[in-house]
Amino acid sequence: MVQAVDHPKSLPLNIPEELALQVTPAQFAVLAAENRDLRLERTATGGLIVNPPTGGETGNRNAKIITQLGVWGEANDTLGMAFDSSTGFELPNGANRSPDASWVTRERWQTLTTKQRQGFIPLCPDFVVKLRSPTDSLKKLQEKMQEYMENGAQLGWLIDPKNQRVEIYRSGQAVEVLENPSTLSGETVLPGFTLSLQRIFPS
């Protein structure tokens, strides 16, 4: 008697940097739907990017960022909508990106149809956060931040916990670098929002 052996439906896929896989927007949507445990992104030219799940420390820090943004967002829900790292955006240049935290004004959110709200959101967030993990390339994260700004973001934070450093991106302005700041201001984009970094930077 032959005993049936259960085989997994899918296996993790590692894509070397030198091997570029190209996918159409429709193919990307199918891949993302079938691989919800992976954080998939797509470049403006159709290149597929597979981001592995974050480690424990990075995940915990990101949760603290999301919590602070979410609390402010609930208290100011007439201003806009906050989103976590699982949210996908289709940028004007055609790229599909998932920032670690983001926010969109209610005015822009209300221009979207119900169908658009349920899928990849077809716009660039007004505010984005990227949290650098120990394995992230700083250069690639900086390129992503520049892409967000070029596609309509008004404010962005690239937070590097290991070096206790933050790069602040503002629309039409040079990047500002802060060394070991204790807080970050949402400025006029997120009025009244202050992110505390005391529990995000390692002590």
One pLDDT digit (tens) per residue for the chain, 203 residues: 444 444 444 445 555 555 567 777 777 777 766 766 667 777 777 777 666 666 788 888 989 999 999 999 999 999 999 999 889 899 999 988 999 999 999 999 999 999 999 888 999 999 999 999 888 889 999 999 999 999 999 999 999 999 999 999 999 999 999 999 999 999 999 999 999 998 899 76
Residues with Cβ within 8 Å of residue 46, at least 6 apart in sequence = 22, 23, 24, 94
* The 96-97 sheet, strands edge to edge: 48-51, 39-42, 96-97, 89-90
